[in-house]
Amino acid sequence: MIGLSDLIIHASEEKVPKIVELKREVKTGYSAPSGQKIVDQISTYRAGIIEILQAKSPHDFGSLSMYSIDAFLIIGTRASSDLKSFEIERLENEKVQIITYDEIIDNAYRLYHDSFEIIEKK
């Protein structure tokens, strides 16, 4: 498989790994590619994962599709707002979930806060 992904996460309870593509808030030539380049990168990673899984276990992964592998694009809020509508549509059509760093932080804070509320009620 040619190309490097930021993260490929394989949880023990999942049959297939998840792809996490991280992009910086500040745009440089390699850190903030176009939506099409991101789709191309993720397609390459998905194809490589399928190839590896099918080689390991053709019986279990013979009919695995590209979209069976979850993919996430994590970017800054400003970079997210710089995405053009056709890029967002293309990413969504390719089943790539767009998440901002701020959303991750907000979600983590909410979970942390909710956990303490549950503990306090006990």
Q: Which amino acid appears at position 46 of this protein?
A: R
- The length of the chain is 122
Q: Please state which of the ranges 23-32, 41-50, 89-98 shows the lowest mean pLDDT.
A: 23-32
Q: Of 62, 52, 69, which Cα lies nearest the Cα of 9?
A: 69
- Model pLDDT, residue 29: 57
Listed by start position, the domains of the chain span: 7-121
Q: Residue 1: its pLDDT value, please?
A: 42
DSSP annotation string for 7-67? EEE--TT-SS-EEEEE--SS--TTTS--HHHHHHHHHHHHHHHHHHHHHH-HHHHTT--GG
> Span 11-26, mean pLDDT?
85
Compute the mean pLDDT over every residue in the chain, rounded to the nearest whole number. 85
pLDDT in tens, 41-61: 999 999 999 999 999 998 889
Give whole-number Cα distances, 50 to 25, 30, 61, in Å: 30, 26, 8
Beta-strand relationship, 96-100 and 71-75: parallel
User: At 113, is the pLDDT very low, low, confident or very high (cuts 50, 70, 90)?
Assistant: confident
For residue 59, what are its two tokens?
């019986």
Helix (H, G, I), strand (E, B) or coil at 114: helix
More confidently predicted of 51 and 34 = 51
What is the reported pTM? 0.80
